[in-house]
Amino acid sequence: MATTTTSTSSLPYEKERRIAELAVQRAAILSKAVYNSKVKGTLEKSDNSPVTIADFGAQALVFASLRNNFPDDNIIGEEDSGDLRSNKELASLVFKAITEAVYSNTTGQSSSESSSSNELGVINNEAEMLDLIDKGDCTDSGKGRVWALDPIDGTKGFLRGGQYAIALGLLVDGVVTVGVLGCPNLGEEGGVLLSAVKGQGTVVRPLTSDFSTLPDPSRVTMNPITTTSDATFCEGVETGHSNHNLQAKIAAGLGITKPSVRYDSQAKYAALALGEAEIYLRLPSSMKYEEKIWDHAAGSLVVEEAGGVAFDMYGEKLDFTTGRTFKKNKGVIVMPKAIQEDVVRVVREVAIEVYGGKSSL
Ligand SMILES: Nc1ncnc2c1ncn2[C@@H]1O[C@H](COP(=O)(O)O)[C@@H](O)[C@H]1OP(=O)(O)O
């Protein structure tokens, strides 16, 4: 990773980037508190994926910040309050976790939170929290300003103390324009906060436990490799989320001999931007699965602004205009621009042979 100190003052989307960073940092503080507590409130959703107090709490906190600062914007969020409304005990635990982690003393708010709470939004009671969680039900991602949030991406990683990410992106007319990734278990102690604005590059800062300030940023760029055999793959941990056998064959075809880095969540995009690996490959384990836009919006911009590109497995751009899920893309490949031609050629050939052509979508 190359890093240089940078200034981001008076630039387009400066407020959006700052609020998104602070909102993600606040949600990260909550997620760490939940991880360190005995009660995580884990439930299984209808698709058999887990959801915890941290997922609901982080979504409520980030939405409070978005509502407070950008009340006219639409939001797409992974969670809704259904499971909490039918489980009052769990709803109370989520509100308690927020109160303890963020509004931490009984006389009101902790000193650092009190200075920022007006700006980042306060959640006054459980009913307000449930209503906020439901603000992420937008279905049209292609028009106007739409935020896409995965409050805890990689919940399985979160639960086992591995990688997870709080991922927040702003789409403007379907184009990812601001992307923020909070990765509490990546890099230095306490984790890292990456952010990108289209055309302005990607920066990283340490994640802190301060609600109102952000440490100085450093600019990041992907490793500038020019040969695929110099690359390291970054893949998911969960074998059910992508086809690891096929990915291994592609790695061999690209002359890659180094072992893959395996991370849960959009921390994979962060790892590429930070130079821990160069290629992220996600080949579908089932063609029926539609990737969710909140799983790729923030990460794809963070990588693109660090010198990379994010395509589907056919080598076409990710299309964020199709609602809550990708309808025109299957699989994801991410790599530095310098090797995109070689990687796309190999992955595309395999994709057509194994999954059929794009017309079969
Ligand atoms: N069958 C599947 N194929 C691909 N991704 C999946 C599948 N099931 C769940 N996911 C998504 O994988 C993400 C974690 O990815 P990773 O394997 O890279 O850590 C989760 O956020 C989850 O999305 P979501 O829970 O948003 O529906």
Q: Domain 2-220 has what CATH class? A: alpha beta
Q: What is the pLDDT of residues 166-214, one digit of tens each?
A: 999 999 999 999 999 999 999 989 999 999 999 999 999 999 999 999 9
Statement: residue 5 has pLDDT above 60: no
Q: Whose CA is nearest to atom 2 of ligand 1?
A: 241
Is residue 152 marked as binding?
A: yes
Is residue 295 marked as binding?
A: yes
- Closest ligand 1 atom, CA of 49? 25
- Closest ligand 1 atom, CA of 45? 25
Q: Among candidates 153, 178, 166, 150, which has minimal Cα distance to 73? A: 178
Q: Among candidates 305, 250, 301, which has minimal Cα distance to 279? A: 250
Active site residues: 55, 155
Q: Whose CA is nearest to atom 12 of ligand 1?
A: 241
CA atoms of 74 and 139, how far apart (whole Å)? 9
DSSP state string for 242-281: S-HHHHHHHHHHTT--SPPEE-STTHHHHHHHTTS-SEEE
Which one of 166, 238, 300 would you pick to mutate in the ligand 1 pocket, going by the greatest count of ligand atoms within 8 A of its CB? 238
CA atoms of 311 and 340, how far apart (whole Å)? 10
- Closest ligand 1 atom, CA of 263? 19
- Compute φ and ψ for 140, nearest 5 degrees: -105, 105
Is residue 75 marked as binding?
A: no
Q: Domain 228-360 has what CATH class? A: alpha beta
The pLDDT of residue 112 is 53
Distance of CA 209 to the CA centre of its chain: 19
- Closest ligand 1 atom, CA of 265? 19
User: Ligand 1: which residues within 6 Å by Cβ?
Assistant: 49, 78, 150, 153-154, 236, 238, 240-241, 264-265, 285-286, 289, 292, 295
Residue keyed to tokens 């602070």: 22
Is residue 137 marked as binding?
A: no
* Beta-carbon count within 10 A of 245 CB: 8
Is residue 79 marked as binding?
A: no
Q: Whose CA is nearest to atom 4 of ligand 1?
A: 241
Q: Whose CA is nearest to atom 5 of ligand 1?
A: 241
All residues at 6 or more sequence positions from 237 whose CB lies less than 8 Å from its CB, including other chains: 156, 157, 162, 262, 263, 264
Q: What is the pLDDT of residues 52-75, one digit of tens each?
A: 999 999 999 999 999 999 999 999
CA of 241 to the centre of ligand 1 (A): 6
All residues at 6 or more sequence positions from 238 whose CB lies less than 8 Å from its CB, including other chains: 156, 264
Domain boundaries, the chain: 2-220, 228-360
Q: What is the pLDDT of residues 108-156, one digit of tens each?
A: 445 455 656 689 999 999 999 999 999 999 999 999 999 999 999 999 9
CA atoms of 361 and 350, how far apart (whole Å)? 16
| Secondary structure E strands in the chain | 2-5, 43-44, 50-51, 74-77, 145-153, 165-172, 175-183, 192-197, 201-206, 218-221, 233-235, 261-262, 279-282, 308-311, 332-336
Q: Whose CA is nearest to atom 17 of ligand 1?
A: 236
CA atoms of 338 and 313, how far apart (whole Å)? 18
Q: What is the ipTM of this complex?
A: 0.94
Q: Which tokens sit at 291?
A: 């990737």
Q: What is the pLDDT of residues 274-316, one digit of tens each?
A: 999 999 999 999 999 999 999 999 999 999 999 999 999 999 9
Calculate what percentage of the chain has a pLDDT beyond 70: 94
